Amino acid sequence: MEIIFLGTGTSQGVPMIAHDPGDACDLTDRRNWRTRSSAHILMGKTAVQVDAAPEFRLQCLWNDVRRVDHFILTHGHADHIMGMDDLRRFIDLRDGEALPVYGTEEGLERVRAIYPYAIRTRPEFKGYPAFVPEVMPSALAVDGGRIRSTLLPHGRIEVLGLVFEENGSGRRLAYYTDCRELTEEAYRLADGADLLVLDALRPHPHPTHMTVDEAVATAKKVGARRTFFTHMTFMVDHERANRALPEGMAFAYDGLRVRL
Ligand SMILES: [Zn+2]
Ligand SMILES: [Zn+2]
């Protein structure tokens, strides 16, 4: 199994207009240039795309993403959904066969509202996208493995937490972005995971995300072999913040590939 972190950022804040410039990350470090969060996961030969950030097209070019077999939308917020039209290139590769879009009821409602022209089994014109919305089941079997899902609290809505289990190797990866905390079920599903990916927005509290300290405490409780944090604002300087993390934990950055 392999995860490519296509994007590890958020829509919140811009460093050069920060209230306190001392808070901002060092923009001479490329790892602080974060596009919005999305991830590409390979299980065997199967390519699963999780979310499509506004920069999805560029993320695919930068990371040599050539195929999407399955698409899962964690939730309907703009930073995760606004790149979905660019899935068209992968639908074209499927000879125009619609791509199932797995999500929550909330997420799928947003997909229908933003992309009404794409809700069909074949594209309206060649090269256009075509999506078939499907509520994500608690376990989805795909070639190469299985994807379990659970709901995580994110303010007024819930977000899909995903646990990938690869056939053969038995490796397990939990991907929990955009959450205020984990539920008992989320802890149970991630128990014994080889890799945990967790929301760590910024140092100070936020009503719908975890702070860095909260994410570290949560990661300790999960106890995965390795943890990477994602969905950071400009207030997290990669080099400085990474040094302060316990062993086995690190901040992800755009373009990072982790094999497990
Ligand atoms: Zn969100
Ligand atoms: Zn987000």
| The predicted structure's pLDDT at residue 27 | 87
Is residue 56 within 8 Å of 38, Cβ to Cβ? yes
Ligand 2 centre to CA of 160 (Å) is 12
Total of domains in the chain = 1
Is residue 16 within 8 Å of 62, Cβ to Cβ? no
Measured between alpha carbons, how far is 199 from 194 in angstroms, rounded to an integer?
17
Measured between alpha carbons, how far is 6 from 23 in angstroms, rounded to an integer?
25
Ligand 2 centre to CA of 209 (Å) is 9
User: Which range marks the domain in which residue 141 is found?
Assistant: 2-259
Is residue 234 within 8 Å of 25, Cβ to Cβ? yes
| The predicted structure's pLDDT at residue 24 | 77
Contacts of 167 (CB under 8 A, 6+ apart): 43, 44, 144, 145, 146
Q: What is the dihedral of CA 120, 75, 54, 94, to 10 degrees?
A: -40
Beta strand residue intervals within 107-193, DSSP E = 131-135, 139-142, 145-154, 157-166, 172-176
Ligand 2 centre to CA of 140 (Å) is 23
Ligand 2 centre to CA of 95 (Å) is 31
Which-ligand-closest: CA of 10? 2
Ligand 2 centre to CA of 169 (Å) is 31
Average pLDDT over residues 72-97: 97
Ligand 2 centre to CA of 110 (Å) is 14
86 by DSSP, 3-state: which? helix
pLDDT tens by residue, 174-225: 999 999 999 999 999 999 999 999 999 999 999 999 999 999 999 999 999 9
Ligand 1 centre to CA of 178 (Å) is 5
Q: Which two tokens stand for residue 208?
A: 């719908």
Average pLDDT over residues 220-240: 96
- Single-letter residue type at 182: L
pLDDT tens by residue, 89-104: 999 999 999 999 999 9
We report the CATH number of the domain holding residue 10 as: 3.60.15.10
Give how far Cα 109 sits from Cα of 52, 101, 247, Å: 16, 12, 41
- Single-letter residue type at 139: A
